[in-house]
């Protein structure tokens, strides 16, 4: 069976290659042609920033969804995560229910697909890019809020389509379907993906992730990545695909190894305490992965962060604190990532043990501040820059540079003074400060950088140094421009 599947996939690839629509020719989301570390949409570069209170927003309908998307848009968000998940109470299932608790897997519940269409239409209206995840294996695994196999239509006890024992758990349905050549399951999965792609391929603001925190294996991920690319091509669209593994470094290795399948990296697990680092190491990871990707024959590709973890004071020690979440959000921008988005809050209303801050007040304020910075600084012409030196006991700061033209430094907060080495010679610069908390810019000030160690006696010392210190211990971004 597996040989037939692989052969069919190869034949399909050959059939669609000649007619494949080049990504972006219709204005759809694609890596930015002038700087493929970032995305472009409708022919213009776009930095993706976002926040939302739900992973599977498409399950909301009507005014509830519209109000949430309006809130995201009003705060300056242009990026949402959307898992094709049905794990929450009240979510709609894909198969048709023929009687209470009993489903027919050969028939679709059209309400399910109508919800997806409505979601895609409303996000497209607002220019909100959708990061669509196909498989979320937590839907069928675990206990409590995650453990829904007992009531799920895919449990053979709850449908009239599969014989008892066709699958027994989440693994049988996901990775096991390909490993064991489970024909009934594979047939359903193909029908499901074909239906999904026939809808989503009609929209240019969607890119795809195979699985959430996938542990399903390289064969599974690669098989479905190729399958959806071919299915989308048959519907007239070239799509961009990635896969998200538990270890962010492994996510980068996977997509680098199979650049013929994947066109961007997803490193969300870098943004939490459990599997990712805190502080400067979080930023340094991004710079290291950029270096590895840049060394490959294919060169740069976007690095996405669809989940930035951290909430409250850190009761969920695997996620981290709200303060760290905000700093991670900014470090992703200053680390040259193509996207950054706050993860959902607690799963239950009023819950305190959450994974992210969603689109709470601080998230909205951060989105507005980030847009103020992006309006002021050409991030698409910049690179992460390490030629800054902390002075004394200062906290870490992070820099972007458009060499010899402009520089930006992010100060997370606390005591901070840095020496910025612009590397090239200049006589005058301007400096202005974005106060992130108050969402305000300072007046621009013209200064002349000081000369150090250039009296003819110390040829090896630094040359021209710019000293930057925020006016207080709050969080700031400094923008430095060369005047002459």
Contact 212, 268 (CB under 8 A): no
For residue 362, pLDDT over 90 is answered with: yes
With CA atoms as reference, report the closest residue to 288 among 267, 274, 308, 273.
267
| Alpha carbon 45 to its chain's center | 16
- pLDDT computed for residue 21 by the predictor: 43
Handedness of CA 112, 114, 117, 119 (dihedral sign): negative
Residue of higher predicted confidence among 148 and 36: 36
| Among the ranges given (2-11, 166-175, 362-371), the one the predictor scored with the smallest mean pLDDT | 2-11
With CA atoms as reference, report the closest residue to 234 among 190, 298, 264, 174.
190
Phi and psi dihedrals of 392, rounded to 5?
65, -135
Q: What is the pLDDT of residues 211-264, one digit of tens each?
A: 999 888 899 999 999 999 999 999 999 999 999 999 999 999 999 999 999 999
Average pLDDT across the chain, whole number: 90
Q: Please, which residues bridge with residue 83 across strands?
A: 133
- Cβ–Cβ contacts within 10 Å for residue 416, how many? 23
- pLDDT computed for residue 142 by the predictor: 62
The Cα 318–Cα 315 span in angstroms is 9
Report DSSP state, residue 235: T
Q: What is the pLDDT of residues 125-166, one digit of tens each?
A: 999 999 999 998 888 876 545 568 889 999 999 999 999 999
Task: Give all strands (DSSP E) within 140-263, no chain letters.
Answer: 206-211, 241-242
| Among the ranges given (64-68, 114-118, 148-152, 374-378), the one the predictor scored with the smallest mean pLDDT | 148-152
CB-based burial, 120-148: b 16+ in 10 Å, e otherwise:
bebbbebebbbbbbbbbbbbbbeeeebbb
The pairing of beta strand 406-411 with beta strand 398-402: antiparallel
202: number of CA atoms within 13 Å, CB side? 11
- pLDDT computed for residue 373 by the predictor: 98
With CA atoms as reference, report the closest residue to 419 among 358, 366, 363, 463.
463
Confidence of residue 63 (pLDDT cuts 50, 70, 90): very high
> What's the start-to-end Cα distance of the chain, in Å?
69
Mean pLDDT of 444-457: 71
For residue 18, pLDDT over 90 is answered with: no
Which string of DSSP letters, residue by residue, matches 435-449? ETTTTEEPPPEEE-P
Which residue is listed with tokens 């896969």?
243
For residue 122, pLDDT over 80 is answered with: yes
- pLDDT computed for residue 215 by the predictor: 84
Q: What is the pLDDT of residues 269-296, one digit of tens each?
A: 999 999 889 899 999 999 999 999 999 9
For residue 170, pLDDT over 90 is answered with: no
Helix (H) or strand (E) holding 196: helix 183-200
Q: Please, which residues bridge with residue 214 across strands?
A: 245
Q: What angle do CA 354, 56, 233 make, to 5 degrees?
A: 140
Contact 311, 346 (CB under 8 A): yes
Helix axes 218-234, 183-200, angle to 10 degrees: 50
| Alpha carbon 383 to its chain's center | 19
Residue of higher predicted confidence among 274 and 456: 274
Phi and psi dihedrals of 36, rounded to 5?
-70, 5
The Cα 466–Cα 454 span in angstroms is 15
The Cα 331–Cα 336 span in angstroms is 9
- pLDDT computed for residue 138 by the predictor: 81
For residue 71, pLDDT over 70 is answered with: yes
The percent helix, strand, coil of the chain (3-state, each to 5) is 35, 20, 45
Q: Please, which residues bridge with residue 242 across strands?
A: 209
Contact 190, 231 (CB under 8 A): no
With CA atoms as reference, report the closest residue to 471 among 442, 428, 429, 439.
442
Contact 136, 83 (CB under 8 A): yes
Q: Collapsing DSSP states into helix, strand and coil, what is residue 86?
A: coil
Which residues, other chains included, contact 437 with Cβ-Cβ below 8 Å and sequence gap of 6+? Answer: 365, 474, 475
- pLDDT computed for residue 459 by the predictor: 53
Mean pLDDT of 60-79: 97
The Cα 216–Cα 329 span in angstroms is 28
Phi and psi dihedrals of 324, rounded to 5?
-70, -35
Phi and psi dihedrals of 46, rounded to 5?
-145, 130
For residue 24, pLDDT over 70 is answered with: no
Which string of DSSP letters, residue by residue, matches 198-230? HHHTT-SSEEEEEETTB-S-HHHHHHHHHHHHH
- pLDDT computed for residue 310 by the predictor: 95
Contact 30, 24 (CB under 8 A): yes
| Among the ranges given (108-112, 137-141, 299-303, 355-359), the one the predictor scored with the smallest mean pLDDT | 137-141
- Cβ–Cβ contacts within 10 Å for residue 409, how many? 25
Residue of higher predicted confidence among 456 and 249: 249
- pLDDT computed for residue 17 by the predictor: 43
Q: What is the pLDDT of residues 102-119, one digit of tens each?
A: 999 999 999 999 999 999
Q: What is the pLDDT of residues 184-197, one digit of tens each?
A: 999 999 999 999 99
Q: What is the pLDDT of residues 415-433, one digit of tens each?
A: 899 999 998 888 899 999 9
């Amino acid at each position: 069976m597996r040989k037939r599947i692989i052969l069919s996939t190869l034949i399909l690839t050959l059939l669609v290659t000649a007619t494949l629509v080049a990504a972006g020719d219709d204005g759809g989301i694609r890596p930015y042609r002038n700087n493929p570390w970032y995305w472009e949409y409708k022919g213009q570069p776009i930095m993706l920033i976002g926040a939302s209170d739900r992973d599977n927003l498409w399950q909301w309908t009507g005014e509830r969804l519209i109000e949430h998307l309006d809130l995201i848009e009003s705060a300056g968000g242009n990026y949402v995560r959307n898992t094709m998940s049905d794990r929450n109470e009240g979510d709609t299932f894909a198969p048709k229910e023929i009687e209470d608790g009993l489903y027919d897997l050969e028939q679709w519940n059209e309400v399910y697909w109508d919800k997806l269409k409505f979601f895609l239409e409303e996000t497209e209206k607002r220019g909100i890019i959708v990061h669509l995840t196909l498989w979320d294996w937590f839907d069928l695994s675990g206990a409590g809020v995650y453990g829904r196999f007992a009531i799920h239509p895919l449990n053979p006890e709850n449908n009239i389509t599969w014989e008892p024992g066709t699958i027994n758990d989440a693994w049988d349905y996901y990775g096991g379907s390909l490993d064991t050549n489970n024909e009934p399951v594979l047939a359903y999965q193909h029908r499901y993906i074909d239906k999904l792609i026939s809808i989503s391929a009609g929209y240019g603001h969607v890119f795809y992730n195979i699985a959430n925190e996938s542990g399903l294996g390289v064969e599974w991920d690669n098989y479905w990545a190729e399958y959806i690319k071919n299915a989308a091509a048959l519907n007239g669209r070239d799509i961009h695909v990635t896969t998200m593994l538990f270890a962010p470094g492994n996510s980068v290795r996977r997509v680098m190894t199979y650049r013929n399948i994947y066109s961007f990296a997803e490193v969300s697990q870098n943004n939490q305490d459990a599997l990712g680092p805190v502080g400067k190491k979080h930023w340094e990871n991004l710079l290291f992965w950029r270096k590895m990707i840049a060394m490959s024959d294919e060169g740069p590709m976007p690095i996405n962060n669809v989940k930035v973890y951290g909430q409250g004071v850190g009761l969920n020690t695997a996620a981290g604190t709200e303060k760290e979440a905000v700093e991670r959000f900014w470090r992703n921008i200053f680390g040259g990532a193509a996207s950054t988005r706050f993860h959902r809050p607690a799963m239950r209303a009023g819950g305190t043990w959450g994974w992210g801050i969603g689109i709470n007040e601080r998230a909205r304020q951060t989105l507005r501040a980030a847009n103020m910075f992006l309006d002021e600084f050409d991030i698409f012409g910049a690179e992460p820059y390490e030629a800054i030196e902390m002075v004394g006991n200062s906290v870490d700061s992070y820099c972007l540079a458009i060499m010899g033209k402009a520089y930006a430094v992010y100060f997370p907060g606390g005591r901070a003074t840095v020496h910025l080495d612009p590397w090239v010679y200049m006589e005058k610069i301007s400096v202005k400060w974005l106060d992130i908390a108050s969402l305000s810019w300072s007046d621009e000030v013209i200064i002349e950088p000081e000369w150090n160690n250039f009296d003819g006696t110390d040829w090896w010392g630094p040359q021209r140094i710019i000293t930057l210190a925020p006016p207080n211990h709050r969080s700031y971004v400094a923008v430095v421009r060369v005047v002459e």
